[in-house]
Chains A and B, each alone.
Chain A
Amino acid sequence: MIQRGNIVNNTARKSRILGALVLSTALVGGLAACTTTPTGGDSAGGTFTLWDPYPDRDASSTWAQAIDACATDLGITIERNAGNTGDTVKDLTTAASNLPDIAMVDNPKVSTLADAGLLTTTDENGFDVSDISANILSAGEIDGKVYGVPVGANTLGLYYNPAVLDAAGVDIASVTDYASLTAALEKVVASGKKGITFSAVGTEEGSFQFLPWFWGAGADLTALDSSESEAALTLWTDWVQKGYAPNSVLSNTQGTSWDEFKTGDFAFAENGSWFKSDADANGFLSIQVPGIDGGVAPAPTGGEFITIPVQKDASRYATSAKIVKCLSEGDTGATALGYVAPTQAGADAQLAADPTLEFWIGAVGDAKPRTADNLGVSYGIISEQLYTAVQAALSGSASPAEALATAQATAVENLK
C-alpha cells in the first residue's frame, strides 16, 4: 500500500511541486511589486523625501547641490526624487498613502492639491511666509490660508529683435499699447520680415501665453465673454489672419515658438524669462507686454511651489519647514533653477550678482499668479475653456465673440 502509494505519489508530487513552484513564483512576484520601499532613517536627523519635477537636473546640478547643502546644514538626509516628470497632481494623488515630506508643485496646481486635502497650511507646519513677495505667494493662498511657498518665479515678456525693427524703421519706444504694437507689426511685415510669434497651443501653455493680453485688456477670468476679453482675442486673431503672426502659433509650444524667433526673421516673440541667457547671446532685447491703452499688462507667474504634504507623523513638519526655509530664503534655490527669488533680499542678491536681471526682476514684481483672485481650483476649468476659445478663434472655427461665449457657457456649466 505504502509502496504503491509512493509510486503514484511520486509522479503526482512532482507535478504538484512544479505547480506550487510556478504558483508561488507568480504570487511572490505580485507581492514584491506591491511592497513599497521603506523610508527609514539611518542618518542622525532622519531621512526626508523631496519630490521635484526636474529630471534634467542630475546629482551634479546646482539645484541638487543646493538641496545637499541644506541637508548638511540641518544634519539630515534628503532623498531627492526627480522622477515625477510631468503631472505632479497625478503623481501625488496616486501616492496619497505614502506622500513625500516635501513636494515641488507647479504653482497653478497648488490649489487643486490643497483642495484635495493633500497639503498642510503654514498654520499646521509652522512656516513663516512674511518675507515672501505677496504677489507670487498668492498662488498658494486659498481663503486666507497658505499652502506652500514659491521657490522662485518666472514670467513672460515681449522679446524683440533690434536688427529686424531697425530695418523696418520701427522705434521700440513707440510700442506702448496694442494699437502701436499692431502698427509696428504691420511695418515689419511690409519690410519683408515676420511679425510676432507666440504659443497658442491647445494646452495650459496657450492660456499662460494669452493671459498678459487678456489681463492687459482689463478682462477677468470669471467673465470670459466680456468685451475686454473679446478685444484681446480679436487682437490675436487679427494678427494671425493678417499674417502678422504665423499660423504655426496654433501648434507652437513656447520652445518651438522660441526656435522660430531664433531664425532671426521675427520682430517680436512673447516668451519667458527662462530664455534670457539665450536672448542675451543673440542680441535680443525685451519689453513688458503693454496694456490695451498703454501701461504694463500683468503677466502670469510661472514656477514651482515648495509644499509640505500631509504626514501621519506631524512631528516631521518642523524639520520639513526648515528645509523649505533653506530652499526659499536667499537666492540659492531660485538661482539654481533660473527663477527670480521669491524674497526681496534674494532678488537684491541676484541683482547684485547680475545687473542684467533688472528687467525680469521688475517684470516678476508686476506679475500675477493664474490662480489669484481666489480662483483656486476653478482656474483649471476656466483655463481649459480659455485656450479652447483661443484655438477656435485663431483657426477660424469660430469668431472671437462666438468662441468666448461658448467658453464662458461651458466654464459655468463645468464649475457647477
Chain B
Amino acid sequence: MSATPVTREKVTPSLAARGIAGGAASADAVPSGRRVRARQRRRAQLTAWAFIAPVVIYLVVFYAYPLYRNLDLSFRDYTLRSFIDGTADFVWFDNYAKVLSNSTFAPALLNTAVFTGVSIIFQFSIGLALAVFFFRNFPLATTLRALFLVPWLLPLLVSASIWAWMLNSESGIVNALIQALGGPQINWLTSPEWALVSVLIANIWIGIPFNLVILYSGLQGIPSDVYEAASLDGASGWQTFWRITVPLLRPVSAITILLGLVYTLKVFDIIWIMTRGGPVNASTTLSIWSYRLGFGGQSPDLSPAAAVGNLLIILAFIFGLIYIRAQRRLATP
C-alpha cells in the first residue's frame, strides 16, 4: 500500500533530463536562440536516450531477443542438423498442433493446474495463518519466524533430495512412521496415485516462507488504530480477521498470489529431482514436459519443447493481465 504514491509519480528519465537541460538554458535567457534551442532540445533528447539506453539494451538482450528466439524456434522444425547448417524449415503452427494433439498434453495441463492451484491455496492459507500468528509478538516470535524461513534458504536441490529420501518407499522416514503406526507402505514417489501429491507436499513446504514474509510485512502496513477501534467496538478475533485484516491485506494478497502463480507454473527442479515427472506422466507438468522434449530423450525435439514453453509463457501472461485488471478495479472504487 505504502508503495503506491511512488509508482504513481512517473518520473521518466527523459523528463528529468529535459528538466536539467531546460533549466540551464533558461538561466541565460537570450531571445535570439530559436535554432539553438531546437538543437539543445535534440541534444537533451539524445542525452535522455543515452540514460535509458542501458535499460533498453538490457531488456532487448536478455528479454526481447530470447523471447523472439523461443518464438522462432517454435515456428520452425529445428533438428540437430539445423545447428550446423543454420537452416530450419518454417512450419507455422505445426509444432503447436503436434503438442496439442500429443497424448501427454492433457495430463500435463491438468497436472500443471492441480499443482499450481493446490500449491497456492495451501501456501497462501498456511502462510497467512502463520503471519497472523507471529504478528501477535510473543516471546521468541522472531526466532521462530526466522526458523520458518529455512526452506527458503536451502538450495532447491537439497530440499528436493531430502524430500525424496524421506518419501522413499522402503527406507523413507515417512513410511517408517506410517508403518510403525500400523499403516500400509505408501509408494509416494513411484505410484501413479501419490507421485503428484508428494511433489505438492514438498512444493507447499518450500513456498510457505515466501507467503509468510510478504503477508507479515503486509500486516505491518495496516494501521493499528483500526484494530483498536474494532476492539473498542467489541469485535471478536474472527470478526477482526475477516472484516479488517483480510480486506486491508487485499493488495498485498493479490501480488503474493500472482507471484506464487508465476513461480509455481514454472516449477521444474523439485519435480524433476523427486519423480522426474513419473511414473510415466503421473507428475508431469508443462515445464517438465518441455524439458523432456528438449533435453530428456536422446534426440532433442527443440521446436516442440519451445512450443510448450511458449504456452507456459502465455498462461503466465494471462494471469498477469488478470492481476492488472483486478488491481485497476481496486484502485477505482
Contacts and interface: CB of A to CB of B under 8 A. Distances in A.
Contacts of A248: 168-171, 190
A250 B80 contact: no
A22 B53 contact: yes
B81 interface: yes
A15 B47 contact: yes
A19 B191 contact: no
Given A7-B28, A30-B61, A247-B190, A118 B84 contact: yes
Interface in A70-104: 87, 89-90, 93-94, 96
Interface stretch (B108-116, B221-229, B262-270, B297-305): B297-305
A23 B24 contact: no
Nearest to A259: B171
A116 B81 contact: yes
Interface residues of A, number: 56
B83 A96 contact: yes
Given A115-B80, A202-B277, A391-B279, A396 B191 contact: yes
Contact of A397 (B164, B171, B192, B300): B192
Interface string A241-264: 000001110110000000010000
User: Most chain-B Cβ atoms within 10 A of its Cβ — which of A16, A246, A247, A384?
Assistant: A247
A4 B28 CA distance: 8
B299 A8 contact: no
A246 B280 contact: no
Contact of A395 (B84, B276, B280): B280
Interface in A338-395: 377, 379-381, 383-384, 388, 391-392, 394-395
Interface string B41-54: 00110110111011
Interface string A165-186: 0000000000000000000000
Given A380-B298, A396-B192, A23 B169 contact: no
B310 interface: no
A90 B300 contact: yes
Contacts, number: 159
Contacts of A246: 169-170
A23 B279 contact: no
Contacts of B169: 246-248
Contact of A384 (B25, B85, B296): B296
A374 to B, nearest CB: 16
Contacts of B276: 201-203, 251
A386 to B, nearest CB: 11
Contacts of A15: 17, 20-21, 47, 50-51
B43 A22 contact: no
B238 to A, nearest CB: 44
B170 A379 contact: no
A318 interface: no
Contact of A380 (B25, B58, B275, B297): B297
Q: Which of A87, A203, A248, A384 has the most CB of B within 10 A?
A: A248
A12 interface: yes
B240 interface: no
A334 interface: no
Contacts of B81: 115-117
A109 to B, nearest CB: 6
B187 interface: yes
A96 B87 CA distance: 13
A26 interface: yes
B46 A16 contact: yes
Contacts of A4: 28, 30
A11 interface: yes
Interface in A112-160: 112-113, 115-118
B57 interface: yes
Given A395-B279, A396-B192, A397-B279, A11 B80 contact: no
A391 B275 CA distance: 11
Interface in B8-42: 17, 20-21, 24-25, 27-28, 30, 36, 40
A163 interface: no
B317 interface: no
Nearest to A388: B280
A23 B80 contact: no
A241 to B, nearest CB: 12
B278 interface: yes
Interface string A189-202: 00000000000011
Given A15-B47, A251-B275, A381 B298 contact: yes
A25 B57 CA distance: 11
Interface in A1-38: 4-5, 7-8, 11-12, 15-16, 18-20, 22-23, 25-27, 30
B245 interface: no
Contact of B54 (A26, A380, A383, A384): A26
A302 interface: no
B303 to A, nearest CB: 14
A380 B280 CA distance: 17
Contact of A251 (B27, B164, B295): B164
B79 interface: yes
A113 B80 contact: yes
Contact of B280 (A5, A108, A118, A392): A392
Contact of B278 (A113, A202, A396): A202
B312 interface: no
Nearest to A3: B28
Contact of B298 (A23, A116, A379): A379
Interface in A390-408: 391-392, 394-398
Contacts of A5: 36
Contacts of A68: none
A383 B277 CA distance: 17
A220 interface: no
Given A93-B80, A260-B171, 4 more contacts: A109-B298, A117-B81, A250-B190, A383-B298
7 closest Cβ pairs, A-B complex: A19-B50, A380-B298, A395-B279, A116-B80, A250-B190, A247-B169, A202-B278
28 contacts: A11-B21, A12-B44, A15-B50, A18-B51, A19-B47, A19-B50, A22-B54, A23-B50, A26-B58, A30-B57, A96-B83, A112-B80, A118-B84, A201-B276, A203-B276, A247-B185, A247-B191, A250-B279, A260-B170, A381-B297, A384-B296, A384-B298, A394-B190, A395-B187, A395-B191, A395-B278, A395-B282, A397-B280
